[in-house]
Amino acid sequence: MGDLHIILTSESAGTRAFTLSLKRLRLTLGGVTALLVLALGFGAFGLNSLSALRERQSRIAALDQQVESLAQENRTFQQTIADLREENATRLADALNALNTRSADMEAVLAQVGVIDPESTGDSSNNTGGPYEPLPLEGIQATLLRADSLLEQTAAVPLGLPFDNAVITSRFGVRKDPFTGRRAYHKGVDLRGEMHAPVHATADGVVVQVGYARRGYGHYVRIAHPDGEETLFGHLAKVSVQVGDTLSRGDVIGQLGNSGRSTGPHLHYEIRRHGEAFDPVAQIWVGEFLNHSRS
């Protein structure tokens, strides 16, 4: 293997000669190549890890965004829940206020016709719960107790009409007798209706008398109510209860008819207190008022 002779000339320094063995040159070139390969390899590795880093960063950014949007969604949900809670509380407060108002109306009407004692009713002056003011539990319980007590009281009092679409054709008090034409005392009201229409109890109570009077009430039913009053239903076509039966308001007691001293299909309806009949019209209208105000 030969050597490489290199001669460099310059005007100032004269001539310089180098001798390079080919073997050394090859070694040197090999070393440079290896270094280049290594450098490229490291460079590629560096680039690789850089892009991986960038990818990771963008993934983290995407995750951050996802977390943020989830947090936003969560906030929206929580707001919705809070809104719904407030809406519920408002509705409850509204319902309780309405119940209180209704109770006060009922008490006023019932007290006015003497059906209940105004002293025994709850105080309505402290019902100031606004729509957004949650009522304390005591208030809710008091309201429900008051409504329960009213319902219990009204269930015991004969109220309303004994059958649908009844028309008062003869009032309570002195009237001309339909048979004799003379002045006579009418102890109830006559209610015109269709023959065989179902007749209903006007309050909770117990049947105390079922009878027949050919020259009087015809087929009749007498019911005692918990408030101490009694109701009497006359001229029935058919009686469907027996003495001792316990009734709820609305239970059918028989059918409208024309039995006894009657000039046509109608119901003779009486309310008595301490055995004395009185004009039932106020209690009839109170019942109708409560029925209509309920819906």
Residues found near Zn ion in the complex (CB under 5 A) = 190, 268
Minimum distance of Zn ion from residue 163's CB (angstroms): 15
Helix (H, G, I), strand (E, B) or coil at 151: helix
Minimum distance of Zn ion from residue 267's CB (angstroms): 8
Minimum distance of Zn ion from residue 184's CB (angstroms): 10
Output the residue with the shortest Cβ distance to Zn ion: 268
For Zn ion, give the closer residue by CB, 107 or 190.
190
For Zn ion, give the closer residue by CB, 222 or 268.
268
Closest of 200, 116, 197 to residue 151, by C-alpha = 116
For Zn ion, give the closer residue by CB, 142 or 233.
233
How many CA atoms are closer than 13 Å to the CA of 154, on its beta-carbon side? 26
For Zn ion, give the closer residue by CB, 249 or 268.
268
For Zn ion, give the closer residue by CB, 190 or 229.
190
Closest of 162, 278, 287 to residue 229, by C-alpha = 278
DSSP element (H, E) containing 217:
none
Burial 115-138 (b: 16+ CB within 10 A, else e): bbeeeebbeeeebebeeeeebeee
**100 φ/ψ sector (left φ>0, alpha ψ -120 to 50, else beta):** alpha
DSSP element (H, E) containing 62:
helix 22-112
In DSSP notation, 37-56 reads HHHHHHHHHHHHHHHHHHHH
Give yes or no for a contact between 4 and 25, defined as CB atoms under 8 angstroms apart. Answer: yes
Minimum distance of Zn ion from residue 277's CB (angstroms): 10
For Zn ion, give the closer residue by CB, 190 or 204.
190
Minimum distance of Zn ion from residue 189's CB (angstroms): 7
For Zn ion, give the closer residue by CB, 111 or 168.
168
Give yes or no for a contact between 244 and 206, defined as CB atoms under 8 angstroms apart. Answer: yes
For Zn ion, give the closer residue by CB, 219 or 268.
268
Minimum distance of Zn ion from residue 208's CB (angstroms): 20
Sequence-distant (6+) residues with CB within 8 A of 263 are 178, 179
Minimum distance of Zn ion from residue 103's CB (angstroms): 35
Minimum distance of Zn ion from residue 130's CB (angstroms): 51
Q: Which long-range contacts (CB under 8 A, 24 or more apart) does 284-287 make?
A: 284/159, 284/160, 284/161, 284/168, 284/189, 286/109, 286/110, 286/113, 286/115, 286/159, 286/160, 287/158, 287/159, 287/160, 287/161, 287/202
